[in-house]
């Protein structure tokens, strides 16, 4: 799957662990390939799902700037 956040290919495992508790874009990216709603319901509490999906995921450019700031620090 091509990651909209990173701009390259990533496995589902990355998306399952790329956030708190999973990547906020997991539904958009995987909805056409697997029953992502069932996966989330089986593996996360409703509170975890809601809190993760309410977060605004940073874009690729924002993530690059965050990485540069971390390196500078």
Could you tell me the pLDDT band of residue 14, with boundaries at 50, 70 and 90? very high
Per-residue confidence band for 58, with pLDDT thresholds at 50, 70 and 90: low
Average pLDDT, the chain: 89
Beta bridge pairs of residue 13:
none
Nearest to 15 by CA among 63, 24, 7: 24
| pLDDT tens string 23-47 | 988 999 999 999 999 999 999 999 9
């Amino acid at each position: 799957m091509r990651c909209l956040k990173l701009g390259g290919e990533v496995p589902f495992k990355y998306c399952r662990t790329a956030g708190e508790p999973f990547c906020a874009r997991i539904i958009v990216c995987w909805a056409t390939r697997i029953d992502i709603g069932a996966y989330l319901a089986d593996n996360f509490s409703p509170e975890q799902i809601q809190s993760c999906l309410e977060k605004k995921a940073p874009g690729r450019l924002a993530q690059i700037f965050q990485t540069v700031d971390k390196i500078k620090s």
